[in-house]
A and B are shown apart, each in its own frame.
Chain A
Amino acid sequence: MIAELGGFSLILALFLSVVLAIVPLSGTITGNEIWMNYAKPLATGQFLFVLVSFLCLGYAFVVDDFSVAYVANHSNSQMPMQYKISAIWGGHEGSLLLWALILSGWTIAVAIFSNSLPLDMLARVLSVMGMVAIGFILFMLMTSSPFERYLPNFPLDGGDLNPLLQDFGLIVHPPMLYMGYVGFSVAFAFAIAALLSGQLDAAWARWSRPWTNVAWAFLGMGITLGSWWAYYELGWGGWWFWDPVENASLMPWLVGTALVHSLAVTEKRGVFKSWTVLLAIMAFSLSLLGTFLVRSGVLTSVHAFATDPERGLFILVLLAITIGGSLILYAIKAPNVRSESSFSWLSRETLLLINNVFLTVMAMTVLLGTLYPLLIDALGQGKISVGPPYFNAVFVPIMGLMSVALGLSVVARWRNTSLEMVRQRLWKPAVGSLLIAAVFPFVYGDGFDFSVFFGMAISLWVIFTVGLEFVWKFRHSANIGKRLSQLSMSYYGMLLAHLGVAVTAIGVTLVSVYSQERDIRMAPGDKIEVVGYEFEFQGSQRVKGPNYLADQGQIVVRLDNEELTRLKPEKRQYNVQRNMMTEADIDAGLFRDLYVALGEPLGGGAWAVRVHYKPYVRWLWLGGLMMTLGGLLTVTDKRYRKKVINGKGEKYA
């Protein structure tokens, strides 16, 4: 009964989306204010019905209603409660419902927090978001309803959630990621609304900027969490695999990063309008494309969702309408005028444009690498594989160039910057970062290493330039405290996010080059030394978890003969699906992780044991966290809370 209520509520949400997509937009064409005013209540209604639907599915999980097919396939009565709840988005159907919930959540958020928007603009934006909602809810109802029943013969117990997904990381990772993916629909809706109305001005950029920054921050957080989860859960210490599904989340993030910067330029200087609109369309399109790639089965991936060509076709049609439609609109209506403000070849505008190009090229490179096997296959040239070597070879150099431009753009001024000023202010960070990076591998490692030099040089360059820029702000101020409070939240967010880039780059460089790994057979009492740490295997014992049995190893770690910690890696067998899971145990630290995982039992109490020493691996995610916080800080800026009476032609310098 509850499940049917959920399905019914979803159908009602669909009807509301249809009305939302049509009525307010028609209102803007005919100038009918009453119709435009329907946008807010319709967005609210749509959200409430999707929420009811989501809660119904959650209820079915909580009470173990295995007559609901989706619950039976993704849950089990023995599963701990938190995983029963996170199992709502543990499969294709439920994760789509989460998608729809978040989409309607963003829609209602726009409706609530956009008091400063002119009525017609709000009506257009909400209508466009209603159109997106139609597509997704229809997709769910037609091909992938989570409310279908096994009747009359339903299973007594469920098939369990994939043990890989029974983990804290998987409780939080998909919602964050979807917040980002779907969040770009707001930037997209603003762009489409601006194209429809022809009001493509600085005010438009100012409205969509906070939404875009928040979406970008969430997406970054989602990617960071995914990487962290893969690191500790997959049991072999990797943190990025260039897997199609990971690429699918990285592409919108890269384009989103470009969009965040491009919007800043459009807001402050009124230039790059067409480019910004195109990026907004691209960021959301790539989010949709990611969804298509993951669920259609055109590419093989470790993140196997149940795939189905019928679903693939539906999403493809959806993509064609959404992306094709918006690009046609773009081609016809994008402003073709020459920008009114001018800037020289050496200015913040130019440098940001260059960075935009780098970011877009990176996204396209990832897209090419992801689709290349498919392309070759479609041309009948056989099957090929594109692996980490390709991605590393193209990604790393562009990343390096981009970091150089990043440092320059932080220091450069709007409009025009003198070469002399750049030289004067940047020679110190340039020389400093090169010198320290050249010495670093001798001090930290045991000889020169070009990767380390390169990685450290660009990271230090970013840190130094950002740091100097911050100090530069105080050159005329006697009162530091007062100056600190004068600087805007956007400015602090910018500093933090850019430092995050450097922190991540340091983590990537050092963990890639200086990781130590030992795979070794260990009988009880055996010892092994890795980078000065002594690991003693004391044997394993059987332990019983809520829905699994595990062999738990006991490993004492000593540093200079003093006990540092005891690690207890597990090899688990889950009761229902019977698959073996490696549960690594990690002693985490800011400068190094000690990572121990059990391989296979080798008889006589001995195990294949994997021991990793991972220097600076936390910095990877710390940087991701800093970028996220930076993105969120910018939104707290005072100027976004200002009321705008008339959105036309206003500009902030």
Chain B
Amino acid sequence: MPRLILFVPLVLFLILGALLWKGLSLDPRELPSALLNKPFPDFNLTALRNPDQPVTKNDFAGKTVLVNVWATWCPSCRDEHAQLLAIAKEGMPIIGLNYKDERDKAITWLTQLGDPYQFNIFDQIGMLGLDLGVYGAPETYIVDAQGIVRHRHVGVVTPEVWTDMKAMIAKGWADAVQ
């Protein structure tokens, strides 16, 4: 019996190995297929700047928007911020999803660094993030005028990424209702 205990590390390693092998075929930067080309999940949360103002997905229906997941605890979001400001200046509407954050800190951030967002969804416990399949901040989604999720980008939106996104938006989607 004691001899069998010595096999425990081996068994644990085999399980780990199987997991890693499976992990190789998964792309962490890819959206779970469950949501791609599916409607943006329903939610009922409040606006960041005004705790009394409810926001739902109807608030950004009717136009193609970027939904940007960010938080003040996220270092890369700081790097990304300048690019978001530039995108907003080009006229692209960006909806912020303030993820697992503190309201005061987030408002201060926007006051100091500039506010590229049309409005911000305040998702303190991360429920909407969970529905969306957020892996970590920052992430950016393209949601079309019908509220369908069309693309997901994990990580910082760089000028190059934005160029790709613009091309994608300009091209439109074949099954989109006009």
Closest Cβ neighbor of A309 among chain B residues = B24
Select the residue from A296, A334, A385, A519 with max chain B CB neighbours within 10 A: A385
The answer to whether B10 touches A298 (Cβ under 8 A) is: no
Closest Cβ of chain A: how far from B5's Cβ, in Å?
9
The answer to whether B22 touches A378 (Cβ under 8 A) is: yes
Closest Cβ of chain B: how far from A326's Cβ, in Å?
9
Q: Does A241 contact B (CB under 8 A)?
A: yes
Among B130, B155, B159, point to the contact of A300 (Cβ < 8 A).
Answer: B155
Q: Does B177 contact A (CB under 8 A)?
A: no
Contact (A375, B134) CB under 8 Å given A234-B75, A274-B6, A298-B26: no
Interface members, chain A 296-350 (any B CB < 8 Å): 296-300, 302, 309, 312-313, 316, 319-320, 323-324, 327-328, 330-332, 334, 336
Among A278, A385, A580, A600, point to the contact of B134 (Cβ < 8 A).
Answer: A385
Closest Cβ of chain B: how far from A420's Cβ, in Å?
35
Q: How far is the CA of A602 from the CA of B26 in the complex (A)?
A: 42
Select the residue from B10, B19, B25, B133 with max chain A CB neighbours within 10 A: B10
Q: Does A374 contact B (CB under 8 A)?
A: yes
Q: Does A587 contact B (CB under 8 A)?
A: no
Q: Per-position contact with B for A213-252: 1 when CB-CB < 8 Å, else 0?
A: 0000000000000000000001110100100000000000
Closest Cβ of chain A: how far from B158's Cβ, in Å?
8
The answer to whether B28 touches A292 (Cβ under 8 A) is: no
Q: Does A371 contact B (CB under 8 A)?
A: yes
Q: How far is the CA of A299 from the CA of B24 in the complex (A)?
A: 9
Residues in B neighbouring A313, C-beta threshold 8 A: 24
Contact (A300, B20) CB under 8 Å given A373-B135, A520-B112, A600-B113: no
The answer to whether B20 touches A385 (Cβ under 8 A) is: no
The answer to whether B17 touches A328 (Cβ under 8 A) is: no
Q: How far is the CA of A473 from the CA of B18 in the complex (A)?
A: 52
Q: How far is the CA of A282 from the CA of B81 in the complex (A)?
A: 41
Contact (A384, B19) CB under 8 Å given A299-B28, A519-B108: no
Q: Does B91 contact A (CB under 8 A)?
A: no
Contact (A278, B19) CB under 8 Å given A238-B75, A300-B154, A385-B136: no
Among A298, A300, A331, A378, point to the contact of B6 (Cβ < 8 A).
Answer: A331
Q: How far is the CA of A549 from the CA of B78 in the complex (A)?
A: 21
The answer to whether A383 touches B75 (Cβ under 8 A) is: no
Contact (A371, B109) CB under 8 Å given A234-B75, A296-B24, A600-B114: no
Residues in B neighbouring A449, C-beta threshold 8 A: none
Among A316, A320, A600, point to the contact of B24 (Cβ < 8 A).
Answer: A316
Residues in A neighbouring B130, C-beta threshold 8 A: 382, 384
The answer to whether B26 touches A378 (Cβ under 8 A) is: yes
Q: Does A48 contact B (CB under 8 A)?
A: no
Q: Does B174 contact A (CB under 8 A)?
A: no
Q: Does A576 contact B (CB under 8 A)?
A: no
Select the residue from B2, B9, B14, B19 with max chain A CB neighbours within 10 A: B9
The answer to whether B13 touches A383 (Cβ under 8 A) is: no
Among A330, A383, A521, point to the contact of B9 (Cβ < 8 A).
Answer: A330
Q: Does A608 contact B (CB under 8 A)?
A: yes
Among B10, B23, B159, point to the contact of A331 (Cβ < 8 A).
Answer: B10
Q: How far is the CA of A234 from the CA of B109 in the complex (A)?
A: 18
Q: How far is the CA of A599 from the CA of B168 in the complex (A)?
A: 30
Residues in A neighbouring B81, C-beta threshold 8 A: 600
Residues in A neighbouring B20, C-beta threshold 8 A: 292, 296, 298, 316, 319, 374
Residues in B neighbouring A41, C-beta threshold 8 A: none
Q: Does B92 contact A (CB under 8 A)?
A: no
Residues in B neighbouring A578, C-beta threshold 8 A: 159
Interface members, chain A 353-398 (any B CB < 8 Å): 371, 373-375, 377-378, 382-385, 387-388
Closest Cβ of chain A: how far from B151's Cβ, in Å?
16
The answer to whether B17 touches A319 (Cβ under 8 A) is: yes
Closest Cβ of chain B: how far from A390's Cβ, in Å?
12
Contact (A324, B3) CB under 8 Å given A298-B26, A387-B136: no
Closest Cβ neighbor of B6 among chain A residues = A331
The answer to whether B24 touches A312 (Cβ under 8 A) is: yes
Residues in A neighbouring B76, C-beta threshold 8 A: 302
The answer to whether B82 touches A600 (Cβ under 8 A) is: yes
Closest Cβ neighbor of B130 among chain A residues = A384
Q: Per-position contact with A for B42-78: 1 when CB-CB < 8 Å, else 0?
A: 0000000000000000000000000000000101101
Q: On chain B, which size bracket covers the interface?
A: 35 or more
The answer to whether B6 touches A608 (Cβ under 8 A) is: no
Closest Cβ neighbor of B158 among chain A residues = A579
Q: How far is the CA of A577 from the CA of B19 in the complex (A)?
A: 37
Q: How far is the CA of A274 from the CA of B3 in the complex (A)?
A: 11
Closest Cβ of chain B: how far from A20's Cβ, in Å?
26
Interface members, chain B 147-169 (any A CB < 8 Å): 154-155, 158-159
Closest Cβ of chain A: how far from B16's Cβ, in Å?
8
The answer to whether B29 touches A300 (Cβ under 8 A) is: yes
Q: How far is the CA of A292 from the CA of B85 in the complex (A)?
A: 37
Q: How far is the CA of A393 from the CA of B85 in the complex (A)?
A: 35
Closest Cβ neighbor of B83 among chain A residues = A580
Closest Cβ neighbor of B159 among chain A residues = A578
Interface members, chain A 43-59 (any B CB < 8 Å): none
The answer to whether B135 touches A298 (Cβ under 8 A) is: no
Q: Per-position contact with A for B104-146: 1 when CB-CB < 8 Å, else 0?
A: 0000110011100000000000000110011110000000000
Closest Cβ neighbor of A304 among chain B residues = B155
The answer to whether A300 touches B136 (Cβ under 8 A) is: yes
Closest Cβ of chain B: how far from A30's Cβ, in Å?
28
The answer to whether A320 touches B32 (Cβ under 8 A) is: no
Closest Cβ of chain B: how far from A226's Cβ, in Å?
15
Closest Cβ neighbor of B131 among chain A residues = A382
Contact (A375, B112) CB under 8 Å given A298-B24, A299-B28, A324-B14: no
Residues in A neighbouring B135, C-beta threshold 8 A: 300, 373, 383-385
8 A-B contact pairs sorted by A residue (CB < 8 Å): A234-B75, A298-B23, A316-B20, A316-B21, A319-B20, A377-B23, A382-B133, A383-B32
Question: B interface vs A, CB < 8 Å?
Answer: 2-3, 6-7, 9-10, 13-14, 16-17, 19-29, 32, 34, 73, 75-76, 78, 81-82, 85, 100, 108-109, 112-114, 129-130, 133-136, 154-155, 158-159
Question: A interface vs B, CB < 8 Å?
Answer: 234-236, 238, 241, 274, 278, 281-282, 285, 292, 296-300, 302, 309, 312-313, 316, 319-320, 323-324, 327-328, 330-332, 334, 336, 371, 373-375, 377-378, 382-385, 387-388, 519-521, 578-580, 599-600, 602, 608
Add 20 more A-B contacts to A319-B17, A336-B3, A608-B112 (CB < 8 A): A235-B78, A241-B75, A297-B28, A298-B28, A302-B75, A309-B24, A309-B25, A316-B17, A316-B21, A323-B17, A331-B6, A331-B10, A374-B19, A382-B130, A383-B32, A385-B136, A387-B100, A600-B81, A600-B82, A600-B85
